[in-house]
Structure formats: C-alpha cells, structure tokens
Structure 1
C-alpha cells in the first residue's frame, strides 16, 4: 500500500526533525587552507550535517545534500535537504554561529514538516 509506506516514511522523517528540534544541533568543522574567509565545501557540509543528525537522533545516517559551500562568516546561511528512502524530503537550515580561524561553528535546524514524495502516476 503506497499510503502506508508514505505515512511510515513521513513519520520517520518527522521523528528525525523532532529529534533535531528538541535537542538543538550545533556543529563544528575545520576547513582546508588558509583562506581569508574560510569555506566549508557543500559535500563536507552535507556529510558533517548527516553525521551530526544521526548522532543526535540515534537514527541511521540520512542522505543530505547541500547546494553550496558554507562561507565562514557569522550569520551566513544555507539550506540543505534531507531525502528519505521513499523520496520525501525535509529542509535543513544551516547558520554559522562563530568562526575561529579555519574552524566554522554552525547551528542546524530541520523544518517542522516534510515534503511528501511525488507519486509516480
């Protein structure tokens, strides 16, 4: 039954979001090189966020994609996307909270509501 599968996936995604929202998630990552303004590559950002969400929620590491590098400037933001196995998605906001040399510290917050997977009609 597609409806049950979608409901289960949405519940899992919602539980993941709730876990992130309840716990609050701050992350820290180092960049390579000595740039005047450090940047965390989109791939490294996605990997770091996925690992942190898994550790915070006790769930398997989710599939996260981030569209752009994260600039190491306080207040800089980007939006990443968590995609569940069934194709439903959940937006994840990333905001730089502080920078110490090449160390970028950022907060992660998942959206409250997932977007259901598109049905194959």
Structure 2
C-alpha cells in the first residue's frame, strides 16, 4: 500500500514537471514599491502554487519558498513543491524583468522528484 501512495505522489510531481517544461511558465506580480521591489516568500509560494495548479489541472500543490524574491534581473530562488506522500520537486524561479513595482519571473520545475523520506 505504501508503494502505491509513493507512486501516485511521484506521478503527480512528474506531471507538474512535464507541464512546466512544456509551457515555459512565467509570471509577474505587483509588489510594494521599495528599492529594489521585493516579493515575500509567502506570496511567491502562493503564486507558484496557483500557476502550477493551472498548468497541470491538478489541485494546488504545497509550495514553500525559503526567502523573499528580490526584484533584480537575474536573481534566482529555489522553492520546493511537496506532494501528499512527502516526495518533493525543486522549482527554480528567475527574475526576468522589473517594471515599476511589478516583478516578472520565469519558473521551472526540476526534471526529477526526490522520493519521500522513509
């Protein structure tokens, strides 16, 4: 029974990875004006979760980002998508442009998921 649950979680993560690769996902978010503008880790996590759900047609996955995203072109951040079974998939976020208080970024899921810890 445990193996079936793990397989399901990895299948969902594989679908997310495949969908983000095929779509070349990008997003932009309006943030409070500061110099440079910054997107909070919580807001980034929520936005990525929404975008990944829309791209895959699956429910919103749990995404966590460890740090705020600084609105400076070329800045990158690594977030983690966690499936219900505990398996994880890394998501890289890269700032592509900043206009006023809006941060534009691309994101890409890793090709392979990490299995859940035993």
- Shift in Å at residue 24 of structure 1? 1.2
Question: Would you say how many aligned residue pairs link Structure 1 and Structure 2?
Answer: 118
Gaps of 5+ in 1: none
Indicate the SS of the match to 1:54.
helix
Task: Tell me the TM-score normalized by structure 2.
Answer: 0.97
Indicate the SS of the match to 2:28.
strand
What is the 5 A alignment of 1:5-84?
Answer: 5-32=5-32, 34-84=33-83
Indicate the SS of the match to 1:112.
coil
Cα distance in 2 for residues equivalent to 1:49 and 1:9: 18
Indicate the SS of the match to 2:116.
coil
User: What root-mean-square deviation, in Å, do the aligned CA atoms of Structure 1 and Structure 2 show?
Assistant: 0.7
Q: Could you report, residue by residue, the CA deviation over 1:10-49 in whole angstroms, capped at 9, with x for unpaired residues? A: 01111111111111100100111x3120000000000011
Q: Displaced runs of 4+ in structure 1, greater than 6 A? A: none
Task: Tell me the TM-score normalized by structure 1.
Answer: 0.95
Cα distance in 1 for residues equivalent to 2:23 and 2:16: 11
- Residue 103 of structure 1 is matched in structure 2 by 102
Cα distance in 2 for residues equivalent to 1:11 and 1:98: 33
- Residue 4 of structure 1 is matched in structure 2 by 4
